[in-house]
Structures are given as structure tokens and as C-alpha cells.
Amino acid sequence: MAYKAEHGDCMVPDRWPENPQLAQWVGTQRKSYRQRRLDTHKIRRLEEIGFEWNPMRKVLELWERRFSDLIAFKNQRGHCNVPAEWSKNPQLGKWVSNQRGNYKRGTLSAERIKKLEALGFKWGKPPGKK
């Protein structure tokens, strides 16, 4: 509950240096759930606080939500050059910056590259940035 109160969700990272015991416990709960070894009372209690059994699904949903935000930004501004530290939507600015970084490292999927490029996304730094 303390993690959720601080972070707003139950998406404890697999390797969380701040509390490795919690990260390991969360992994154990997910594994027990997948193996159908977690009793229904524990499942219900975890779900009541918003525990995510499949964190990858949440990650995929978040990517699509930010992509929708980028579409709205482009519709308003006519381009995809969201400032990295954009006060109106800081999450979108960081997300756009992360997409560029992932592309540069070769870790962005071909499907996502195609979606971003179809929108007119540019991989270089936005104009005016050094």
C-alpha cells in the first residue's frame, strides 16, 4: 500500500533498488497467480488495490495512451516536436524523448517506428535544441 500511495499504482519494477524485497514479493505473487497457486482471498485483496497481474499489458496501454496524446498534440500544433520538458503534459514530453532514445539504441519496435513515422514524427532533436 505504501508503494501505491507514493507512486499511484502497483507497478513495482522487477528490479527495484529502493525495496528489492517488495519487488521480489510482487514477482512471487504474479508467478503464483499464473500457476494458479494463489488463493482467491489473496487475489481479491490484491485486485482491490489495483494490483496488475500482467504488467506488460499496462505498459502497452500506456504507450498507446501517449501515442494518442501525440496525435492530439499534432492536431493542435501541426507537428510532433513536443518539448522534452513540456509543462502542459510533462509525461508526453518525456515519452517523446524516450521514443527518440529507444530508436537511437535500436530498441524501438518496427511497428512503433512505422506508427510514429506515419504521424510525421522526426527522430532528430526538435528545431532549436542543441
pLDDT in tens, 56-71: 887 888 899 999 999 9
Q: Let me know the angle formed at the C-alpha of 33 by 28 and 37, rounded to the nearest 5 degrees.
A: 95
Same domain, 64 and 94: yes
Count of domains for the chain: 2
Grid coordinates representing 46 are 490484491
36 within domain boundaries: yes
Burial of 19 (0-12, 13-18, 19+ CB in 10 A): middle
Range of the domain at 71: 55-118
Specify the pTM: 0.64
pLDDT bin (cut points 50, 70, 90) of residue 14 is confident
Cα atoms found within 13 Å of the Cα of residue 120, Cβ hemisphere only: 13
